Structure 1
Amino acid sequence: MTTADVSVRVAWADDAPAIAQLQLRTWPEMYAGVVPPEAFPSGPEAVEQAAALWHASLTRPADARHRALVALEHNRVVGFAVTGPASDPDCDPVADAELAELTVDPAERGRGHGSRLLQAAADTMRADRFGRAVLWAVAADDGLRRFLTDAGWATDGAHRELGLDDGGATTVKQVRLHTSLG
């Protein structure tokens, strides 16, 4: 009997290129039908720039409670999660955490990586003494919302519309979900 070599751990600075590649590769699917495909950064230069930003955030986080976690299959990054204090005006940054991103490679979904990441993120937020977590999801992302509600998250009635360009021509509607970490 063989078992898969899968795990979740805190992201290291050396993970920055893999996280950047995964993020840039998944954005077009995540925002399909919302953002035109040509609006996404692509190519080696975009990956290098994103990797530099990830490296900086992993080596010098804005707050000691900002964390990035990676899901691994063998030593390959197949997903990542980002946690930190919630920044919404109706949230308490001492008591409320935000799961700012939960991304799994589309080719790797259905193998437990998302569940492991979500559990590790909840454990991390709990260890940082947060009592509640929130996440903003694209309103049209039924898959993510179903995954989260199956894990005990629920919508809390908050919603927002973000402008993704200077002119406001491209917007994305989001809904907020929350869960107790207690």
Structure 2
Amino acid sequence: MSDAAVRPADLSDAAEIARLQRDTWHAAYEDLLGKNALAELDAADLVGTWTETIDYPGSQVYVATEGEFTVGFCVAGRAPEGEVAAADGSLPDDAVATGLIATLLVEPRWGRRGHAGRLLATAAAGLRADGAGRGIAWVAQGDHASLGFYRRAGWNPDGTVRTLDTGDRMVREVRLTGTLDLALA
């Protein structure tokens, strides 16, 4: 394997992150999300969205590379109250010290090479440096690969679910939570 690394994204990465998102969603999530969601994704100004995300205060965006190729990305930051709240709206005692992995994506052809683990460990270190003590992530219940990945990292469902309407179907997501004290094996 070529040299693999994770680094903070900069504005010059926005177009490649947009390409990775578009290609990965088409390859891995069409059955889960449906054609309407993918059509909206294709019509969106993803480069502009990713430029704003990379530049947004408090947002931590990382890219995984292998050799000269960008192969994945992760977005993390402080979890908004709505993301960390229980189903009844109540907040846990550690709400202000909870980080959110908003997205973590590795292009399928680069899978099973440790990129997702490096992205999660790097994002966890960044969240810890910002004062977070634990992390959460929302994963589609039908995304068995991502659920398995987070479980191997020690993150587990906390019993909270939500349903998103993609325009074609309803997608049920489970909230996972776990430690930010992650280290690569």
> Which TM-score band (shorter chain)?
0.7 to 0.9
Unaligned runs of 5+ in 2: 86-90
Letter in 2 for 1:155: P
Q: Contact 2:98–2:136 at 8 Å: present in 1 too?
A: yes
- Residue by residue over 1:53-96, the C-alpha shift from the partner in whole angstroms, topping out at 9 and shown as x without a partner, is 1112212x1x42x1100001123210000001112233555211
Which structure has the highest helix share of the two?
Answer: 2
1:10 positional shift? 0.5
Q: Contact 1:24–1:42 at 8 Å: present in 2 too?
A: no
Letter in 2 for 1:77: T
The whole-number CA distance in structure 1 between the counterparts of 2:43 and 2:101 is 24
1:22 to 20, 23, 29: 20
1:56 counterpart residue number: 52
With a CA cutoff of 8 Å and minimum separation of 6, indicate the structure with the bigger relative contact order: 2
Are 2:65 and 1:72 aligned? yes
1:164 positional shift? 2.5
Please, which moves more after superposition, 103-112 or 82-91?
82-91
2:38 counterpart residue number: 40
1:14 positional shift? 0.2
Unaligned runs of 5+ in 1: none
- Residue by residue over 1:9-37, the C-alpha shift from the partner in whole angstroms, topping out at 9 and shown as x without a partner, is 00000000000000011113443323223
1:102 to 96, 104, 111: 104
Number of equivalences: 172
Root-mean-square deviation (CA), in Å?
2.1
- Residue by residue over 1:88-134, the C-alpha shift from the partner in whole angstroms, topping out at 9 and shown as x without a partner, is 23355521111000100100001111111111111111111100100
Q: Contact 2:18–2:50 at 8 Å: present in 1 too?
A: yes
Are 2:170 and 1:171 aligned? yes
Percent of paired sites with the same residue: 35
1:42 positional shift? 7.9
1:127 counterpart residue number: 129
Q: Contact 2:28–2:108 at 8 Å: present in 1 too?
A: no
- Describe the SS at the equivalent of 2:161: strand
Q: Using structure 1 for the length normalisation, give the TM-score.
A: 0.86
Q: Contact 1:104–1:114 at 8 Å: present in 2 too?
A: yes
